[in-house]
Amino acid sequence: MSTDHAPHSRPDAPMTVVVDLAGAPGPALPVLELRGPLDTHRLEAALDRIDRESARPARRPLWRHRLEEHGPGHHTLRLTARASAGSSVDFPAGLLADLLTDTPRHEEGARRIVPTSLQRELIADSDAHPGTGRHSEQFAFAWNGPLDPDRFTTAWQSVFDRESVLRATFEDGPEPQLVLHERITPEVVHLPHAATDWYALVEADRRRGLDPRGPGPLRITVLAGGPPGQDTPAPARVLLTFHHALLDGWSVRSLLQEFYRAYLADGALPGGERRPDIGDYAHWLTAQDTAPARDFWSRNDLAPATEPPAAALTGAGVGHARTRLDTEETERLRTWAAALGSPESSVLHAVWALLLYRARGTVGPARVRFSSTVSGRGIHFDGVERLPAPLRNPLPVTVDVDPCATVLAVLAGLRDEAVDRGAYEWVTAGQIRSWSGARDTGASGSLLVFEHRPCDPDGLTELLAAQGILVGSPETLGVRTAFPLTLVAHHGDDGGLVVTASYDRTRLGDADQVLADTAFLLRQLPGREGERTTVGEVLALLDDLPRPLAPGPDRTAGPPSDDAEVPPLVVLRPATHPGAGTVCLIQTPSTPHSVHTRVVRAYRGPEMIALLRPAAGSRRHEAVLRALREGPLVLGGFSGGGVAAYEIARSVAASGGRAPVVVLTGAATRPADFARTLEATARRSR
């Protein structure tokens, strides 16, 4: 038996164990192939532990072992039973595989911190919806003028070296940790003008998503301007992709200013590493007294979130739509709101509350609820206004809508609630859910984001302009959140208000009408007297407009909550042809769904790939036996799944079938490397 594990020959590579029952002296004595740096002391300790747990009263080793070395990082472990062991004792090869692959990752100089509650919630939601791009956002801006690719890349490296959050990755495990690496090379890609269409590039980048467990939570892609030689070449376009578990929009805009500073200094950012950083913020959070926040939210009546209005369902995937108010319309709205003592954001919240009320078809007073983000930067933490970290936080908003009440009363209620919530910007939706006893905190409804931008105190854009470089303000291209509909509002370069909708097509459908109604009311309200105009009069303005249909059911695929209701074997990717065989991944509590997704994406073999969920032994074995009818079978998993995988292999062999090969690897193994190992094993099992 031999498999291709070239990646595991690196000195720092994790261990991979291949367990094969076929051709062994007996079903209880498998052959183990060990790929990776072998610590013989660790192996002896693991075998001693197995002997202690298996020898029972005799206290004598039941097995002998022989280690054969084939080259660096490649060994075969053969076992023989002692005469005193008898034929009824099975060697726990699965346990040995777990012990050998369960090696924690260590990096000299790397700091490890406990993620914040918000980060844990975002990671959990991303893992529960693999391959959907949840919580990844894209910014784009134009770059007019000369662009030096080497200087551009060097400047970003300088920013990454200074900001610990850009060198942060999540480490898998039962309790995830945030690792702050000493150095990470940013992914900066320069594409020539003719390489691809801009919209195709954006869509491909969106489908790719961004994995916060990989190096660098910020990806930079540059599509160059027009062909060389043009007198007035088209501007280059810069695409910034980031994950909300490590960065928010404010952070990315602040980091972009740091990049401009580095670019102006020929790529070298002056000064040392920023402190305080994300680790200091996490430490600050652990010191906060949650009692006042718990009391506040437990006293709030959080009714179920109101589903956003929507047109008929249009299919799968994420849709994006956008509407704009021009500069004059935005200025009228701002002036009108200020006269009523409210910011533009409160007017947008009021308009959205009215649209939710209208979509419900309610008569008389009613309470609606949605979620709205707070910046998270109103806290008493030194340097928070410039700190790049995931601070933007969705909190529930409750609005009492009474057709007889005035618009001024609605705005006043929103203003008062914003003041109350402002003291708890660091509290998360998950914490609120646990304190209030609510079924949800709005993730089944809609989310409003009103983006504010950090100022440019050093006039960096003017300094760039002095060198002939004109840069636009980054604008969001859409974001996939846990909500079926997310509205993001910001001011464009011309000062006009821009509202972008990102929505789940399986639940809502086309958002164009929703945005049209929103923009219509934002344009109409400044022509009304807020002190006298009632909610009913504003709603009457919409009478001639079509009423959106009710939203459809949630058909998104999430993690099952009851394995008794879910088949234990779930197909992640079908086979390319009948009889190709199956690669069955064993799910373990410490392995996130996103890791399995990355293995599937990297796998190039013809086999079907399935995920075996925890289930009762008989149901699990029956599922595997059904898969065997489709061809050869390989059982794969990360450390912690060895015992279950080996139990299944033995059960299959005992039933007269061809025992599947078990491939177990460490948590530090890259999914692409593991996919190649599985491919090589499957080829030899055909």
Average pLDDT (542-550) is 60
Q: Given a cut of 90, is residue 644 above it in pLDDT?
A: no
Mean pLDDT for the chain? Answer: 82
> Between residues 318 and 225, which one has the greater pLDDT?
318
Residues 413-455 pLDDT 10s: 998 888 888 888 999 988 888 887 665 544 568 999 998 888 8
Residues 459-481 pLDDT 10s: 899 999 999 999 999 999 888 88
Residue 562 pLDDT: 32
Q: Given a cut of 80, is residue 686 above it in pLDDT?
A: no
Q: What are the distances in angstroms from CA 672 to CA 329, 587, 593?
A: 51, 17, 15
pTM: 0.70
Residue 452, classified by CB atoms within 10 Å of its CB into exposed (0-12), middle (13-18) or buried (19+), is middle
Residues 8-27 pLDDT 10s: 444 456 899 999 887 554 44
Residues 395-422 pLDDT 10s: 999 999 999 999 999 999 998 888 888 8
Q: What is the DSSP string of 31-52?
A: EEEEES---HHHHHHHHHHHHH
Three-class secondary structure of residue 549 per DSSP? strand
> Between residues 163 and 132, which one has the greater pLDDT?
163
How many Cα atoms occupy the beta-carbon half-sphere of 620 within 13 Å? 21
Q: What percent of the chain has pLDDT over 70?
A: 81
Phi and psi at residue 60, to the nearest 5°: -120, 140
397: β partners: 370
Q: Given a cut of 70, is residue 627 above it in pLDDT?
A: no
| Calpha distance 681→678 (Å, rounded) | 5
Residues 217-232 pLDDT 10s: 999 999 986 555 555 6
Three-class secondary structure of residue 281 per DSSP? helix
| Calpha distance 442→431 (Å, rounded) | 13
Which residues, 6 or more positions from 196, have their beta carbon under 8 angstroms from its beta carbon? Answer: 204, 223
Q: Which of 218, 221, 216 is nearest to 204 (CA)?
A: 221
